[in-house]
Structure 1
Amino acid sequence: MLKRFFLICSGADLPLLNQCSNGEQNKYVGIGATIFFTAFMAAIAGSYALYTVFDNVYTSIFFGIIWGLLIFNLDRYIVSTMRKKDSFKSEFFQALPRIVLAIIIAVVISKPLELKIFEKEINQVLLEEKNQMTLDNKLQIAQQFDPEIAKTNTEIEQLKNEITTKENEVNALYETYIAEAEGRKGTKLIGKGPVYKEKREKHDQALKDLSDLKATNAAKITEKETRITQLKEQQKTSEENTQPIISNFDGLMARVNALNKLPWLPSFFIFLLFLAIETAPILSKLISSKSEYDYKFEHQESDAITWIKQQNFQKNKHLETDKEITNKVYEDLKNEEEIYNHKQKLARQLFKSQADSILQKQQKLL
C-alpha cells in the first residue's frame, strides 16, 4: 500500500514499472517518497508563513495544504518529464530549467521554516527595532507640539517677569518714601512732609497697578497653562494612537527583514538542506545510468510514435488516392453528352427567368 502510494508520487508509469525488477521499483519508491516529504515540508512552511499574515490557524492550514499540493504537483511533473538520453550533456541541458525551478522552490520552502527556527532571535531584533521606532515616533510627535509649548512657556515667563519688574518698582518706591520719612534720603528732613506724601502716593499708585497687573497676568498665565496641558494631552493621545501600529510591526515582511540582519551562515545551511531535498529526485535521475524502466519506457514510446506515424501515413495515402479517383470521375463526367444536355436545359430556364425579371422591373419604372 505504502509502496504503491510512493510509486504514484514518483509519476512513473505503474503498469510498465510493475514489469520491472524490485530494485528498479525501489528506486522510484525513493524518488516518490522524496517528492512527498518535500511537499509535506512545503505545506508546513506555507502554513506558518500564512499564519504570520492571517493570524488564523484554520485559514493558514487550508492555504498551506493548497501550497503543499502545488509543490507536490510541480515536483512530480519535473521528475516524470525527465527522459534519460545517451549523452550526459543533452541530459544536463534538459534538466537545467528543472534544476533552476527546484532552486526557486527550495528558497520558497526554506524561508518560512527559517523564520520559525530563528523565531527567538528574530523577536529580539524586532523588539530592538520597535523600541527604536517608539523613540523615533515620540521624537517626531514631540517636534509637532514642542515649538508651541515652548512658545507658550516663554509667554508665561514674560508675564511673570512683568510682575517681578513691577514688584521691584513698588519695592523701590517703598524704600524711597520710607527713607524720606526717616531723613536718610531726599530732603534729609525727618517726618512726613509734602515730599513724603508725594512719594507715598506714587508708591500706593504703583502698588495698585501691581495688584491689577497680577490679576490680569494670573488670568493669562492660567489660560496659557491650560493650553500647555491640552497640547501635552494631544501629544500623549497621538503617541497612544500610533503605538499599536508599532506594536503590530511583526508581519511576514518585517520578520524576513529581521532574518536578513542575523548571521547568514545558519540560514544558508538550511537553504542547502532544502535544496538538496528538492533537487535529489532530479539529480538521482541525472547521474544514474539508463535502467530497465528507461529502456522499456523508450521502447513503449517508440512503438507509440511509430504507430502514429503509420496511421498518419495511411491517412495521407488514402487522401491522395481519393483525390485522384475524384478527379478522374469528374473528368469522365465532363465528356458525357447526357450531362451536357441537362446542364444546358437548366441554364436556358435560368436565363429566361432572369430576362423576365428584368423586364418586370423596367415596366415598373416606366
Structure 2
Amino acid sequence: MLKQFFILCSGADTDILNDCSIGEQNKYAGIGATVFFTAVMATIAASYALFTVFDNLYASLFFGLIWGLLIFNLDRYIVSTIKKRDNILDEILQATPRILLALIIAVVISKPLELKIFEKEINQVLLEQKNDLTLANQNQIAKQFNPKIAELENEILGLNAQIDLKEAEVNGLYNTYISEAEGTAGSKRLGKGPVYKEKRDKHDAGLAELQQLKSDNKTKIEAIETQIAMLQEDYTTNITKTQPVIDNFDGLMARITALGELPWLPSFFIFLLFLAIETSPIIAKLLAPKGEFDYRLQDQETTIKTWTMQKVAERKLLLKTDNDINNKVYTEIADEEEVMNYKRKQARILMQNQADAFLKQQKGIL
C-alpha cells in the first residue's frame, strides 16, 4: 500500500511499472518517497513562514498545505518528465531547466526553516534593532518639540534675569540709603536727613516695582511652564503611539533581514541540504543506468510514434494519389465531343437567362 503510494508520487506509469521487476519498482518508490517528504517539509516551512505573517495557526496551516501540494505537484512533474536517453548530453540538457527550478524551490523551502532553527539568535538581533529604532524614533520626535521647549525655557531665563537685574538695582538703592544714614557715603552726615529720605523713597519705589515685576513674571513663567508641560505630554504621547510599530517589528521580512546579520555558513549548509533533497530524484535518474521501466516506456512511446507517423504518411500518399487520378480523369474527358456539346448548351441557356434578367431590370427603371 505504502509502496504503491510512493510509486504514484514518483509520477511513473504504473501500468508499465507493474510489469517490471521488484528492484525497478523499489527504485521509483524511493524517488516518490523523496518527492513526498520534500512536500511535507515545504508544508512545514510555509506554515511557519505564514504564521509569522498572519499570527493565525489555522490560516497558516491551510495555506501551508496548499503550498505543500503545489511543491508536490511541481516535484512530481519535474521527476516524471526526466526520461533516459541514449546520449548523456541530451539527458543533461533536458534536466538543466528542471534543476534550476529545483534550486528555486530549495531556496523557498529552506529559508523559513532557517528562520525557525535560528529563532533565538534572530530574536537577539531583532531586540538590538528594536532598541536602535526606539532611540532613533525618540530622537526624531524630540526634534519636533525640543526647539520650541528650548525657546520657552529661554523666555523663562529672560524673565528671571529681569527679576535678578531689578533685585540688584533695589539692593544697590538699599545700600545707598543705609550708607547715607550711617554717614559713610553721600553727604556723610550721620542721621536721617532730607537726602536719606529721598534715597529711601527711591529705594521703596524700586522695591515696589520689584514686587510687581516678580508677580507679573511669575504669571508669565507659570503660563510658559504650562506650555512646556503640554509639549512634553505631546512628546510622550507620540512616543507611546509609535512604540507599538517598533515592538511589532518582527515580521517575515524583518526576520529574513536579521538572518542576514548572522554568520552565513550554517545557513548556507542548511540550504545545501535542502538543495540536495530537492535535486536528488533528478540526480538519481541521471546517474542511474537505463532500466527495465525505461526500455518498456521507450518501446511504448516509439510504438505510438511509429504508428502515428505511418498513418500520417499514408494519408499524405492517399491525398497525392487521389489528386493524380483526378487530374488524369479530367484531362481525358476534356476533349470529348459529348462534354463539349453539353457545356455549349448550358452556356447558351445561361446567356439567355442573363439577357432576360437585364431586360426586365431596364423595364422596371423606365
TM range (shorter): over 0.9
In the TM superposition, what is the alpha-carbon distance from 1:105 to its structure 2 partner? 0.8
**Alignment match, 1:158:** 158
| 1:217 maps onto 2:217 in alignment | yes
Partners of 1:120 and 1:307 lie apart in 2 by 64
- Equivalences for 1:278-357 in 2 at 5 Å? 278-328=278-328, 330=330, 335=336, 336-337=339-340, 339-341=342-344, 343-357=346-360
Partners of 2:156 and 2:224 lie apart in 1 by 7
- Equivalences for 1:55-204 in 2 at 5 Å? 55-204=55-204
Question: Which one is further off, 168-177 or 315-324?
Answer: 315-324
1:189–1:319 distance in 2 versus 1, CA, 3 Å: same
Partners of 2:224 and 2:159 lie apart in 1 by 11
CA displacement 1:236-269 (0-9 Å, x = unmatched): 1111111011011111110001011111111111
Question: Which one is further off, 88-97 or 217-226?
Answer: 88-97
Partners of 1:156 and 1:332 lie apart in 2 by 125
Unaligned runs of 5+ in 1: none
Q: Percent identity?
A: 58
Partners of 2:190 and 2:357 lie apart in 1 by 154
CA displacement 1:286-315 (0-9 Å, x = unmatched): 011111111111111100100100111122
1:2–1:346 distance in 2 versus 1, CA, 3 Å: farther
In the TM superposition, what is the alpha-carbon distance from 1:51 to its structure 2 partner? 1.2
TM-score (norm 2): 0.95
Tell me which amino acid in the other structure corresponds to 1:44.
Answer: I
**Alignment match, 2:274:** 274
In the TM superposition, what is the alpha-carbon distance from 1:164 to its structure 2 partner? 1.0
Aligned residue pairs: how many?
A: 363
1:137–1:20 distance in 2 versus 1, CA, 3 Å: same
Partners of 2:41 and 2:7 lie apart in 1 by 19
Question: Which one is further off, 44-53 or 315-324?
Answer: 315-324
CA displacement 1:311-341 (0-9 Å, x = unmatched): 1112212222333344455556655146415
Partner SS, residue 37 of structure 1: helix
Partners of 2:206 and 2:330 lie apart in 1 by 137
Tell me which amino acid in the other structure corresponds to 2:359.
Answer: D
Partners of 1:260 and 1:120 lie apart in 2 by 14
Partners of 1:118 and 1:355 lie apart in 2 by 97
In the TM superposition, what is the alpha-carbon distance from 1:60 to its structure 2 partner? 1.3
Tell me which amino acid in the other structure corresponds to 1:19.
Answer: D
CA displacement 1:2-61 (0-9 Å, x = unmatched): 111111110111110111000000000000000010011111111111111122112211
Partners of 2:29 and 2:271 lie apart in 1 by 25
Partner SS, residue 132 of structure 2: helix
Partners of 1:213 and 1:179 lie apart in 2 by 26
**Alignment match, 2:50:** 50
Tell me which amino acid in the other structure corresponds to 2:221.
Answer: I
Tell me which amino acid in the other structure corresponds to 1:225.
Answer: E
In the TM superposition, what is the alpha-carbon distance from 1:81 to its structure 2 partner? 0.8
1:78–1:356 distance in 2 versus 1, CA, 3 Å: same
Partner SS, residue 5 of structure 2: helix
| 1:240 maps onto 2:240 in alignment | yes
Contact 1:333 1:339 in 2 (8 A): no
Partners of 1:318 and 1:7 lie apart in 2 by 45
Partner SS, residue 290 of structure 1: coil
**Alignment match, 2:20:** 20
Partners of 2:11 and 2:201 lie apart in 1 by 114
Contact 1:115 1:122 in 2 (8 A): yes
Tell me which amino acid in the other structure corresponds to 1:111.
Answer: K
Tell me which amino acid in the other structure corresponds to 1:348.
Answer: M
Partner SS, residue 86 of structure 1: coil
Contact 1:130 1:247 in 2 (8 A): yes
Tell me which amino acid in the other structure corresponds to 1:81.
Answer: T
1:339–1:330 distance in 2 versus 1, CA, 3 Å: farther
Contact 1:11 1:77 in 2 (8 A): yes
